[in-house]
Amino acid sequence: MSPLVITILVVSGIGLLIAIAYCNHWVERKKLETSRRTSELNDRIQRCSGLSDALPGQLMSADLKLLLSRLQLHFVNQLLLLDKKNQSAISRKQALTQQLSLGQDIVLNNPLQAINSEPRGNEVRQQLENLHTLILRSAKDGALSVQEAKHWQGEVQHLLAQMHIELFSSIGRLALQNGQPGRARRAFEQGVQMLHKQPSPERYQRAIEKLQAQLEQANSQLVETSPAPLAEDSELNAGLKGLETEEDWKKKSIYD
């Protein structure tokens, strides 16, 4: 065998090894990318499902339920492109398709939940922030149009305002019942200030008027429960006024 043939065989062998290594690397990279994307899609699906089930009933609407179902279906379809035999995804797709076919008659089974404490308010606020993030990511992925995303950003802001109305009203009323008009006043004031800062405060005019009426009630109760001036204080004030009068008289006598 000539040296040239040997050289060609060696070079060919090296080239083959490089090609095999590259193919293995590409396959592993593809597996990692598929695994990452699958995990990401499952996370999006769970977030949609969690929000759809956990949001308080007073904040849930047919339009919002349909949006979350539609986003879920989008992510499920993306998941099936990666694994067409995923039985869990297939079953979920069938259920979501059936839900979406109901349109405005979609079942709303979220129970009403009292939002009457700061910890509970923080929980609901976090849910709405998660919804806002989901909308932004869905627009980035093409699941929502830019126009739809802007619309739902405004709706999330409205839901946040509704949540705060209930929170501050509940805290204020409870404080009044417990004889804490100062705490009640702070809650009602926060509610009024928050609504005035909204992009369209006129949308909340009735809520503002109600909170202001409650604020006046808290102020009245605060005045009624404020301790009257002590007799000793009155005597002390009278004595001070007497001293001031005496000093004025002395000054007048000196200068006269």
One domain, residues 105 and 122: no
The answer as to whether 245 is a domain residue is no
Rg over alpha carbons for the chain, rounded to the nearest Å, is 34
pLDDT-based confidence at residue 5 (cuts at 50, 70, 90): low
Burial class of residue 189, CB neighbours in 10 A (0-12, 13-18, 19+): middle
Nearest-5° Cα angle at 69, 113 to 71: 115
The answer as to whether 220 is a domain residue is yes
How confident is the model over 152-172, as pLDDT tens digits? 999 999 999 999 999 999 999
Encoded tokens for 69? 């179902």
One domain, residues 92 and 188: no
One domain, residues 120 and 219: yes
One domain, residues 40 and 94: yes
pLDDT of the residue at 254: 34
Residues sharing a CB contact under 8 Å with residue 75, sequence separation 6 or more, in sequence order = 41, 44, 45, 48, 143
Mean per-residue pLDDT of the chain: 85
How confident is the model over 22-51, as pLDDT tens digits? 777 677 777 778 888 899 999 999 999 999
One domain, residues 127 and 203: yes
The domain containing residue 93 runs over which residues? Answer: 13-109
The count of domains in the chain is: 2
pLDDT of the residue at 249: 36
- Looking at 76, 109, 142, which one is the last position of a domain? 109
Q: Name the amino acid, one letter, at 179.
A: G
How confident is the model over 122-152, as pLDDT tens digits? 999 999 999 999 999 999 989 999 999 999 9
One domain, residues 150 and 136: yes
Encoded tokens for 227? 């301790």
The answer as to whether 162 is a domain residue is yes
Residue the block writes with tokens 């035999």: 85
One domain, residues 80 and 140: no
- Looking at 83, 109, 135, which one is the last position of a domain? 109
Query: Is there a contact between 80 and 89 (Cβ–Cβ < 8 Å)?
Result: yes
* Helices marked H in 55-86: 62-82
**% the chain with pLDDT above 90:** 68
Strands (E), 39-153: none
Question: Residue 228 and residue 253: Cα distance in Å, rounded?
Answer: 38
